[in-house]
A and B are shown apart, each in its own frame.
Chain A
Amino acid sequence: MTTAPLDKTNALETMPMGKSKLSHTAVFWIAFSVVIAVLIAAPLVLPEFWRRFLTEVLIWGLLAMSSDLLIGYTGMISFGHSAFFGLGMYGAAGALLVASPPNLWLAVLFGLAGAAGAALFVAFFSIRLRDIYFAITTLIFSQIFYVIIFTWTAVTGGENGLIFTRPHLSIPFLYDARFTTTTMHWFVLAAVTASYLILRRVTQSPFGMVLQSIRENEARTRAIGYAVERYKMVAVMLSGLFAGLAGVLYAIQNQFAAPDFVYFLTSGDTVIYNVMGGIGTLVGPIVGAGFFQLARELLSRLFGDQFPYLIPLGIVFIVMIIFLPQGLLGFARRWLNR
């Protein structure tokens, strides 16, 4: 008689309902479907402002999620994501200004190409570095891109940035219509959902396992024969690509690109979203972005527009680091598993 190793997932999935708990996978997909259904329905019931607000949360969430691949899974804290986000934004802006009529897919393509180019450049020079040295190098690169964009007025519009017309939502030969806030939301939701599923697959693949191994012990990963630099290079590029996609979506939603987004503060916000939501969870950073944006909005609504919301938010951030080091999602997970 031969014995096979027990596949826990399959074993749980095949157990009759009612006798045991649902499998982890089933719970995940049910929760995923519910959340997506709620997000699809949201613009149909939300007022205009909150519709746009939710769409923007998803975009910032995508940026934060992209950096989670580096921070949470590879153990590399990046302060260069503002550059990837900004280059995605400017790439899309360039395509929308050049092409007549503006084309959505060309904007996506140019944006991703811009972000990929920047990511390749940054990765080439920084992957041999670790910890604080990697963080500082990425920060410096993002500032270099910022200065170039800020001063190269003829091409980038300098401090003023670029403004352009929003393209139509088009599927060649099938569909062509102006974006509304609702269709914009659905388009962003589709992009963020697809990005999440791809990143989830990546992190669960053997490639993702190697990244986690690098995070845990880089020297040992190298010692057992993995080309660590190559893995890090791909991780930075993948992360940069999704950050660039967030930039493209922001540009299409708001019809402008500005150097402020390339400034390192955007990277700082991204790290904060990760810490607040939960590092190494992919969904956590989206929750973090939502929490931060919502808290800011509610504080300014409650206490007036000039209320210094960063002070209470800073206190909340410190409290969370001390008492919820795993972030909101980590806390929720622990609470649910009690």
Chain B
Amino acid sequence: MSEQWKHEKWAQDIWYRGKVTRRSIVGWGGGAIGAMMLVPAPWRAAFGAAKPYKIGSEQPLSGAGAAGGKTSIIGLQMAADRINASGGINGRPIELVIVDDETSPAVARQKVTKMVQDDAIDVHVGGFLSNICLACMPFWQDAKIVNMITVCLDTTLTTSACNRYTFRLHDYAPAQAVAFAPTLTKMGKKWHIVFADYSWGQSTRDAYVAEIKKNGGEVVGTTGIPLGTADMTPFLSKISGDFDGLFGIFFGKDGVTIANQAYDLGLTKKYIWAGDGSISESSNLVAVGNKLDGFTAINRYIPVFDGVLDTPYLHRFFEEGKARLAKVDPSHPLPDKYVQSNYEALNATKVGMEKAKFDSRDDSAKLIEALEGLEVKESDDFPQGDKTLRKDDHQAFLREFIFTIGNGTYHLQQVVDKDKTFVPPACKFQAA
């Protein structure tokens, strides 16, 4: 019979010998709690006793932004693997919950709702396209979840549209303009700016116009080119006149287009050619060959080891990033600023969670407090360098690299210390 086992001696010993008393429950219960407290955190993580932190990340994995989104994930996974290998955060492992926003704000809003309601994420670390970051910002505030932006560049994220729950550990256009303008005005006094004609391009243009003027230079004209324009020749052929340098503000495939077409029209020989570092990301350099030679730009990360960049941290970050990218992209691209900012953003979130003794998203207020004013030092967690996450607007300041392109590769010209990139805060947080 199926119930016969109950009459066996071993079963009698286990189940029927003695009584379950209050004293035995208190005794055994206390002992169990004590034992759990004594077990070291890495053990708990290793044996799965600890509940993982769920880190949400919204990224464009399909649609126009897919290439950048897939690169970003490499940075996140690198950081997550390192964190888990070293015992997790507060002794608990982390689990990435990555959703594809399909490069659409409407889809992004649905997906982040799902992340919060169904997946019960504790923190969000992600966001690639500025319009999507902006569309989701009220949501993070309503959900009271800390949102660490990893790529979105738009200035307003930490100025007019700022909110208490959102942080940005990477640079923004006003800080880069402050860092780059003194060099630009030494290279030439009169500039013409050609830019991607939409919000990021326009706000970056405004930042450079102001800083070039502040440094004694002049912007004599600007040309806006609609985003995604395949043939920029009609716009570029109208650029002429008495100025010293041409300054470009583009990213992605528009960066490749401007590099090719400005070169073909002879503009890069006629004028000093400079611009935003996004034009010369490593993936773009492969596509334009030597046509960007002589281009001077600014960026927070370049995959070279000249001078101060020859650090063990950058070497290790580069090698691991390169190996991981090779697995997902047959063109074997080098790690870029998207890998770097995702990697460091998750590491900074970890530092904040440890400092705040963060347990769950109910502790978001403590995490905000821990992240505000956070100072991090150059290390394996932050190979790019030291950073300050300003309390007033949750915007980070970090060192910038000015470089030129020669023979299809980067040549470091100058390192601008983070203290020389400061811009006054322009954010008013809503009252809680």
Residues of A whose CB lies within 8 Å of any CB of B are 47-49, 52-53, 56, 150-151, 153, 157-161, 163-166, 254-256, 258, 260-261, 297, 305-306, 308
- Which residues, 212 to 230 on B, are CB-close (under 8 Å) to A? 224, 226-227
CB neighbours (8 Å) of A261 from chain B are 106
CB neighbours (8 Å) of B200 from chain A are 159
CB neighbours (8 Å) of B198 from chain A are 150-151, 153, 158-159
A-B contact pairs, 19 of them (CB 8 A): A48-B113, A52-B117, A151-B226, A158-B199, A159-B198, A160-B130, A160-B131, A160-B134, A160-B156, A161-B135, A163-B134, A163-B135, A163-B137, A165-B138, A254-B139, A255-B138, A256-B138, A306-B100, A308-B62
The CB with the most chain B CB atoms within 10 A, among A48, A160, A163, A166, is that of A160
Is the pair B106, A158 in contact by a Cβ cutoff of 8 Å?
no
- With known contacts A49-B117, A160-B130, A254-B109, A305–B98 Cβ distance under 8 A: yes
B427 in the interface (beta carbon within 8 A): no
B373 in the interface (beta carbon within 8 A): no
B104 in the interface (beta carbon within 8 A): yes
B105 in the interface (beta carbon within 8 A): yes
B110 in the interface (beta carbon within 8 A): yes
CB neighbours (8 Å) of A258 from chain B are 105-106, 131, 135
B262, chain A: closest CB distance, angstroms: 22
B118 in the interface (beta carbon within 8 A): yes
Contact of A305 among B100, B106, B131, B156 (CB under 8 A): B100
Is the pair A306, B62 in contact by a Cβ cutoff of 8 Å?
yes
The B interface, classified by DSSP as helix, strand, loop or mixed, is helix
The 6 closest A-B pairs by CB, nearest first: A158-B199, A49-B117, A255-B138, A159-B198, A48-B117, A160-B199
B99 in the interface (beta carbon within 8 A): yes
In the bound assembly, the distance between CA atoms of A160 and B200 in angstroms comes to: 8
CB neighbours (8 Å) of B139 from chain A are 254-255
Residue of B nearest to A53 (CB): B110
B61 in the interface (beta carbon within 8 A): yes
CB neighbours (8 Å) of B113 from chain A are 48-49, 52-53
CB neighbours (8 Å) of B197 from chain A are 151
- Which residues, 387 to 402 on B, are CB-close (under 8 Å) to A? none
In the bound assembly, the distance between CA atoms of A261 and B227 in angstroms comes to: 17
In the bound assembly, the distance between CA atoms of A49 and B114 in angstroms comes to: 6
- Which residues, 63 to 121 on B, are CB-close (under 8 Å) to A? 98-100, 104-106, 109-111, 113-114, 117-118
Is the pair B110, A305 in contact by a Cβ cutoff of 8 Å?
no
B154 in the interface (beta carbon within 8 A): yes
In the bound assembly, the distance between CA atoms of A50 and B61 in angstroms comes to: 24
In the bound assembly, the distance between CA atoms of A306 and B62 in angstroms comes to: 7
Is the pair B131, A159 in contact by a Cβ cutoff of 8 Å?
yes
Is the pair B138, A260 in contact by a Cβ cutoff of 8 Å?
no
B407 in the interface (beta carbon within 8 A): no
- With known contacts A256-B135, A305-B61, A160–B109 Cβ distance under 8 A: no
CB neighbours (8 Å) of B130 from chain A are 159-160
Contact of B161 among A56, A163, A166 (CB under 8 A): A163
In the bound assembly, the distance between CA atoms of A310 and B139 in angstroms comes to: 27
In the bound assembly, the distance between CA atoms of A47 and B137 in angstroms comes to: 22
CB neighbours (8 Å) of A52 from chain B are 110, 113, 117
A113, chain B: closest CB distance, angstroms: 23
CB neighbours (8 Å) of A161 from chain B are 105, 131, 134-135
CB neighbours (8 Å) of A256 from chain B are 105, 109, 134-135, 138
B202 in the interface (beta carbon within 8 A): yes
In the bound assembly, the distance between CA atoms of A290 and B134 in angstroms comes to: 27
- With known contacts A258-B131, A305-B99, A160–B154 Cβ distance under 8 A: yes
Is the pair A159, B199 in contact by a Cβ cutoff of 8 Å?
yes
Is the pair B61, A260 in contact by a Cβ cutoff of 8 Å?
no
A285, chain B: closest CB distance, angstroms: 18
Is the pair A56, B110 in contact by a Cβ cutoff of 8 Å?
yes
Residue of B nearest to A293 (CB): B110
B85, chain A: closest CB distance, angstroms: 25
CB neighbours (8 Å) of A308 from chain B are 62
Q: A160-B156, A166-B138, A306-B100 are in contact. List 11 more A-B contacts (CB 8 A).
A: A47-B118, A48-B113, A153-B199, A153-B202, A159-B198, A161-B105, A163-B161, A164-B138, A254-B106, A260-B104, A306-B61
